[in-house]
């Protein structure tokens, strides 16, 4: 936590933390506490009539099947995105690691989707999968699949998973490649001399050695899928059809921003905040142990 | 290379090329769509090869009427706004995070842990879920339609502080001891030792934050009411949602291409530092 | 705003603008018109600004309908609201209930001493936005109504005629599919077209209290046998591809313009897109009649958006706003807007002017929307609807209808679910609207 060797107490550390603390208080803690207060209210959009209702908004959520259902969907979505993008990245990194020449070129070619805005990524995928115009439904028709993500909830879910995973492959690939390249060559050579083939070496030696990276990426990808995919869902399916792709963050946005149900949306924000803080503490503990040890 | 297996090498290249194709396909389609006329893009199946309208779309987008619906805020102006916003978020966040991480790691002072947790609860929670109260704060402070309003609320997050803290913790204590023997004060130590040592991390963070800032959509839409504050990503969304008309894909995709250039350039140009900076802290 | 201006108005161009604008009273207008319609909005504002030198109308694009409305709400809460904001028709109840926030148009015009003649407006267009005693609350701007779009070439090839009843829709769809088309018909904006307009067209009530016009304690009644029977038959038609669902809003437009579906029910305002994209002869006809429900059609209801004035500005500024409203509803502007966009004109004079100019002769079918809207004097069931939280309720209806098309539930179940969930949202709204 703190360096054993440190500077003596003075005014300086307060000045150093001041900018961040002030910004956090004004632009995070204050609005967040407003959200907590709002979660106890039922009010009209313009804030003209307000009624204090204690936990009624929360009780409503607890009895709302749509809301409870979105928990399961969020987890399913997050796991799929993480597994899909990480395994694709792992395979690509595994092959790129083998290659002496050209690895950097491949890296350059694989890295750029990271820079694409989620809204835009969503728009691109919708465009490619448009049931009438898109190139993929056109191809899928030849294998007898009638693609229609407007009607079919599974299609819609697959589409948002693809779009979300696609954006994250680049990031995962970078980490895996760097992790693999830092494995001492001598270790792999020793395994090769023992007669282990490339596939065996990958599974028995490389994969276990990059497991800290895997764990780290799992956390990052889960967080990404939980919170940062809002733009993708918004652009691709808007939560439909029949709520098939409504995940938690999207529901907060949709109820508050679109439906103008500020109390209900704030209550969902509060639940999310509690969730986030819990996750942060867990993640923090883990990283902390790793560093001190 | 451990052993020479030509077939496996070929397979490796084949898999990687396939990967590149899959990853790059949406971008290719963006490019293709930007080279056709609007009507062609509404006819199934959409083309896979570029058409002959690249320059027409390009000039229309960049110089005339392409970004219709805005009071013709020119594209350069939107690019400038996006650039300002992305840079202010990147530099602002890096600056405040370096300072606070330094204080938390290298000083012992009352309420240190209190400040620490105060900063860390902000980790990860996206702006979208607290957007309306945040808007009110910005409005009360008179920061609507300003670069400050665009950037500062997005700086209020702990990820960068968290990362610098990890970096500082891995720096050997001997560094500080020898610096003190040389008579260096805290600020001197910070500037001459810590900053150079975290160079790659700063670079990596810069890449992440630049892209984060550049790609913001909902926040700028809410707090800008003057057209000369429009950002480029906003304008794409606007063109996508023309009421009761089908979108003009050629112009949208051309704008998308233009909007992609700066962040892609940043990522590609800084990829080596980006990877180093991120992976070293994790180790 | 002023602080930031001082800080950041770095360029000379901005400084020049600021001084030029200072002499005139500025009126802010937030709108949701992207694309080419956005350019037309700018032209209207620019023309008004050029027509006099006291006021400057400044239009600002604020995202799609929901984003624009939320931006206005957020701005109002922060006391930064615009003078005028464009709100879609389903937001009407929310706006209307916010008495301290809105400035009813008719009252604003009266307070500003600007003449206003309510009888000049098309009843079917303005009735949606009037109080029960006929006061106009907001100014209709872009209004449309659903019509039946058909692919004339495909109908001809299949030897079918343009359907006037739902039975004929089925036979025509069958003929189209038999002739090799991938789908008979589709529609978009399903709640608006298939529930709200179907009910109005057949003079059925959507909810109690005159569709919510006379009280917030309204409850949905659209879950009746007549609507259910119609939807169930459509769902059953999916089996032979007579009907194919293609998504919410206008997502199914490419199915029609690419010749997959021979008929499409959606807003008349897609006229511009049709002209640009359809490579076949197309036409628009009135919505089909369900002969088992009614013997003759009533009238259809409108969709689109209106302009709401917001409270909290100087009276001098409202004077300018009132003048702008007069300009906006003048026959010339309305006729131009109508002919350019396909939205219906809001005044009788503008419709007559368009006829005089020969617009309907050179563009056959473009008067279908007006004819359909003014077919009869609107009844309590057909003048519109006023339900709170209707943005969310439409989502609920979308969800349930999608479950129906996917074959998970029957039409009666879908409508019952939608009504039940919708009623819960209505009760929630009732508590906030006093």
Catalogue all structural domains in chain B, each as residue range(s) with its CATH number.
71-282 (1.10.3720.10)
Kind of pairing between the strands at C183-187 and C261-267: parallel
**Tokens representing C395?**
């989502």
ipTM higher than threshold 0.85: no
User: How far apart, in whole angstroms, are the C-alpha atoms of residue A267 and residue A288?
Assistant: 31
C146-300+388-432 maps to CATH 3.40.50.2300:
no
Common-topology check for domains C2-144+302-362 and C146-300+388-432: yes
| pLDDT for B87 | 94
Chain A residues with CB inside 8 Å of C309's CB? none
What does DSSP assign to residue C203?
A: T
Q: Which of C32, C74, C312 to mutate to test the interface with B (most CBs of B within 10 A)?
A: C74
User: How far apart, in whole angstroms, are the C-alpha atoms of residue C233 and residue A164?
Assistant: 38
What does DSSP assign to residue A176?
A: H
Chain B residues with CB inside 8 Å of A29's CB? 118
User: How far apart, in whole angstroms, are the C-alpha atoms of residue C30 and residue B221?
Assistant: 12
Chain A residues with CB inside 8 Å of B137's CB? 26-27, 30-31
Q: Name residues 35-94 of chain B within 8 A of A (Cβ).
A: 41-46, 48
Read off the pLDDT of residues A204-242 as tens digits, 9 standing for 90 and up: 888 888 887 888 788 778 878 887 788 788 888 888 787
* CB contact at 8 A, B213 and B62: no
Residue A168, classed as helix, strand or coil, is helix
- Answer whether residue C70 shows pLDDT above 50: yes
Half-sphere exposure of A52 (CA within 13 A, CB side): 2
* CB contact at 8 A, A131 and A147: yes
* CB contact at 8 A, B161 and B119: yes
User: What class, spelled out in words, does domain C2-144+302-362 have in CATH?
Assistant: alpha beta
Read off the pLDDT of residues A111-152 as tens digits, 9 standing for 90 and up: 878 888 877 788 888 888 888 778 888 888 888 888 888 888
Say which of C255, C399, C432 has its CB closest to residue A49.
C432
- Answer whether residue A3 shows pLDDT above 80: no
User: How far apart, in whole angstroms, are the C-alpha atoms of residue C344 and residue C271?
Assistant: 11
Say how far residue C322 (Cα) sits from the centre of its chain.
23
CB pairs < 8 Å spanning B and C: 135
Lowest mean pLDDT among A268-272, C177-181, C280-284: A268-272
Say how far residue A217 (Cα) sits from the centre of its chain.
10
Chain C residues with CB inside 8 Å of A243's CB? 399
- Answer whether residue C51 shows pLDDT above 80: yes
User: How far apart, in whole angstroms, are the C-alpha atoms of residue A151 and residue C360?
Assistant: 37
Residue C77, classed as helix, strand or coil, is helix
Which domains are seen in chain A, by residue range? 72-246 (1.10.3720.10)
Closest CA of chain C from B241, distance in Å: 6
Residues of chain B under the 70 pLDDT cut: 1-4, 44, 63-73, 122-129, 238, 240-247, 279-283
Q: Hey, which chains touch C, using 3+ CB pairs under 8 Å?
A: A, B
Confidence class of residue A77 from pLDDT cuts 50, 70 and 90?
very high
User: How far apart, in whole angstroms, are the C-alpha atoms of residue C74 and residue C32?
Assistant: 16
C1 burial type by CB count under 10 A (0-12 exposed, 13-18 middle, 19+ buried): middle
DSSP string, B145-181: TSHHHHHHHHH--SHHHHHHHHHHHHS-HHHHHHHHH
Tell me the pLDDT of chain C averaged across its residues. Answer: 87
Q: Hey, which chains touch A, using 3+ CB pairs under 8 Å?
A: B, C
User: How far apart, in whole angstroms, are the C-alpha atoms of residue C426 and residue C290?
Assistant: 29
Residue B50's φ and ψ, nearest 5 degrees, are -60, 150
Q: C144, B246: Cβ pair inside 8 Å?
A: no
User: How far apart, in whole angstroms, are the C-alpha atoms of residue C412 and residue C247?
Assistant: 21
Q: How crowded is residue C315: how many other Cβ atoms within 10 Å of its Cβ?
A: 9
User: Which residues, in sequence order, are bridge partners of residue C86?
Assistant: C307
| Distance set, CA B177 to CA A8, B164, B272, C113, C351 (Å) | 13, 20, 32, 80, 86
Residue C293's φ and ψ, nearest 5 degrees, are -105, -45
User: How far apart, in whole angstroms, are the C-alpha atoms of residue C94 and residue C137?
Assistant: 12
Tell me the pLDDT of chain B averaged across its residues. Answer: 79
User: How far apart, in whole angstroms, are the C-alpha atoms of residue B81 and residue B87?
Assistant: 10
When pLDDT is averaged across residues C121-129 and rounded to a whole number, the result is: 86
* Domain definitions of chain C by residue range: 2-144+302-362, 146-300+388-432
pTM for this predicted structure: 0.82
Chain B residues with CB inside 8 Å of A2's CB? 104-105, 108, 112
| Closest residue, chain A, to C260 (C-alpha) | A132
Q: Inter-axis angle of helices B199-214 and B271-282, to 10 degrees?
A: 110
| Closest residue, chain B, to C29 (C-alpha) | B225
Half-sphere exposure of A119 (CA within 13 A, CB side): 21
Q: Hey, which chains touch B, using 3+ CB pairs under 8 Å?
A: A, C
Confidence class of residue C251 from pLDDT cuts 50, 70 and 90?
confident
Q: Which of A132, A134, A157 to mutate to test the interface with C (most CBs of C within 10 A)?
A: A132
Query: Measured at the alpha carbon of residue C130, what is the angle toward residues C125 and C132, in degrees to the nearest 5?
Result: 125
What does DSSP assign to residue A8?
A: P
Residue C84's φ and ψ, nearest 5 degrees, are -135, 135
């Amino acid at each position: 936590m703190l360096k054993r060797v440190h500077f003596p107490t003075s005014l300086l550390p307060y000045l150093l933390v001041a900018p961040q603390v002030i910004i956090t208080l004004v632009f995070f803690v204050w609005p967040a506490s407003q959200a907590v207060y709002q979660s106890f209210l039922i009010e009209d959009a313009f804030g003209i009539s307000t009624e204090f209702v204690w936990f009624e908004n929360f009780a409503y959520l607890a009895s709302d099947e749509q809301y409870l259902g979105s928990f399961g969907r969020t987890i399913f979505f997050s796991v799929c995105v993480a597994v899909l993008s990480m395994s694709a990245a792992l395979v690509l990194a595994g092959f790129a690691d083998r290659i002496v020449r050209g690895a950097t070129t491949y890296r350059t070619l694989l890295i750029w989707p990271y820079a694409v805005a989620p809204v835009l990524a969503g728009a691109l995928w919708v465009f490619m999968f448009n049931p009438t115009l898109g190139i993929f439904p056109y191809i899928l028709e030849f294998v007898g699949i009638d693609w229609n993500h407007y009607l079919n909830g599974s299609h819609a879910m697959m589409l948002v998973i693809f779009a979300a995973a696609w954006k994250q492959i680049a990031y995962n690939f970078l980490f895996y490649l760097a992790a693999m390249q830092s494995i001492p060559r001598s270790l792999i050579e020793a395994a090769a001399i023992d007669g282990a083939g490339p596939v065996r070496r990958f599974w028995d030696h490389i994969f276990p050695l990059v497991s800290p990276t895997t764990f780290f990426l799992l956390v990052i990808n889960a967080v990404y899928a939980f919170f940062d995919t809002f733009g993708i869902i918004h652009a691709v399916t808007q939560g439909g059809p029949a709520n098939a792709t409504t995940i938690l963050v999207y529901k907060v946005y949709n109820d508050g921003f679109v439906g103008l149900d500020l109390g209900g949306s704030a209550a969902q924000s509060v639940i999310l905040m509690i969730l986030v803080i819990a996750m942060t503490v867990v993640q923090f503990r883990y990283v902390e142990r790793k560093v001190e040890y | 290379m451990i052993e020479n297996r030509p077939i496996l090498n070929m397979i490796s290249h084949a898999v990687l090329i396939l990967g590149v194709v899959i990853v790059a396909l949406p971008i290719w389609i963006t490019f293709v769509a930007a080279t056709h006329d609007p009507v062609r893009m509404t006819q199934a199946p959409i083309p896979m090869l570029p058409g002959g309208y690249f320059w027409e779309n390009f000039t229309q987008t960049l110089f005339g009427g392409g970004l219709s619906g805005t009071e013709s805020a020119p594209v350069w102006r939107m690019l400038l706004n996006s650039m300002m916003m992305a840079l202010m978020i990147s530099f602002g966040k890096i600056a405040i995070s370096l300072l606070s991480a330094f204080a938390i790691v290298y000083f012992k002072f009352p309420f240190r842990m209190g400040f620490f947790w105060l900063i860390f609860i902000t980790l990860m929670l996206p702006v979208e879920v607290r957007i309306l109260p945040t808007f009110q704060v910005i409005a009360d402070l008179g920061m609507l339609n300003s670069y400050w309003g665009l950037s500062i609320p997005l700086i209020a997050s702990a990820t960068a502080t968290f990362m610098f803290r990890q970096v500082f913790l891995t720096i050997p204590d001997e560094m500080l001891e020898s610096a003190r023997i040389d008579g260096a004060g805290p600020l001197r130590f910070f500037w001459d030792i810590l900053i150079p040592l975290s160079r790659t991390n700063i670079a990596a963070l810069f890449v992440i934050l630049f892209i984060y800032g550049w790609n913001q959509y909902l926040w700028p839409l809410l707090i800008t009411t003057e057209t000369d504050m429009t950002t480029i990503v906003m304008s794409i969304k606007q063109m996508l949602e023309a009421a009761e008309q089908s979108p003009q894909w050629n112009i949208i995709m051309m704008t998308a291409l233009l909007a992609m250039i700066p962040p892609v350039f940043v990522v590609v140009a800084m990829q080596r530092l980006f990877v180093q900076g991120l992976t070293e802290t994790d180790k | 705003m002023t602080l930031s201006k001082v800080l950041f108005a770095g360029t000379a161009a901005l400084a020049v603008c600021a001084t030029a604008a200072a002499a005139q009273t500025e009126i802010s207008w937030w709108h949701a018109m992207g694309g080419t319609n956005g350019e037309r909005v700018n032209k209207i504002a620019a023309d008004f600004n050029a027509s006099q030198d006291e006021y400057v109308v400044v239009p600002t694009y604020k995202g799609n309908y929901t984003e624009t409305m939320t931006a206005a709400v957020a701005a109002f809460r922060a006391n930064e609201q615009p003078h005028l904001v464009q709100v879609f028709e389903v937001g009407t109840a929310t706006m209307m209930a916010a008495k301290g926030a809105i400035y009813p148009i008719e009252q604003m015009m009266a307070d500003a001493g600007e003449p206003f003649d309510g009888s000049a407006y098309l009843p079917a267009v303005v009735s949606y936005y009037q109080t029960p005693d006929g006061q106009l609350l907001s100014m209709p701007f872009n209004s449309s109504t659903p019509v039946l779009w058909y692919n004339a070439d495909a109908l001809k090839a299949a030897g079918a005629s343009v359907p006037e009843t739902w039975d004929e829709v089925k036979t025509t769809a069958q003929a189209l599919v038999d002739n090799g088309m991938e789908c008979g018909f589709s529609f978009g904006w399903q709640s608006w077209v298939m529930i709200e307009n179907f009910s109005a067209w057949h003079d059925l009530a959507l909810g109690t209290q005159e569709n919510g016009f006379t009280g917030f304690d309204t409850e949905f009644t659209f879950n009746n046998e007549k609507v259910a029977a119609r939807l169930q038959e459509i769902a059953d038609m999916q089996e032979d591809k007579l009907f194919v669902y293609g998504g919410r809003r206008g997502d199914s437009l490419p199915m029609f313009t690419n010749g997959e579906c021979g008929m499409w029910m959606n807003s008349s305002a897609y006229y511009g897109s049709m002209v640009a994209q359809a490579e076949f002869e197309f036409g628009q006809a009135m919505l089909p009649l369900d002969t088992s429900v009614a013997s003759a059609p009533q009238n259809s209801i409108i969709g689109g958006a209106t302009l709401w004035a917001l409270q909290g500005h100087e009276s001098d500024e409202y004077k300018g706003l009132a003048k702008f409203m007069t300009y906006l509803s003048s026959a010339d502007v309305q006729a131009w807007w109508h002919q350019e966009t396909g939205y219906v004109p809001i005044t009788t004079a503008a419709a007559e002017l368009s006829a005089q100019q020969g617009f309907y002769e050179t563009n056959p079918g473009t008067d279908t929307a007006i004819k359909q809207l003014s077919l009869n004097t609107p009844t309590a069931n057909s003048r519109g609807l006023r339900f709170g939280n209707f943005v969310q309720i439409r989502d609920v209806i979308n969800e349930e209808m999608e479950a129906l098309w996917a074959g998970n539930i029957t039409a009666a179940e879908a409508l019952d679910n939608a009504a039940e969930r919708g009623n819960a949202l209505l009760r929630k709204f009732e508590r906030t609207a006093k």
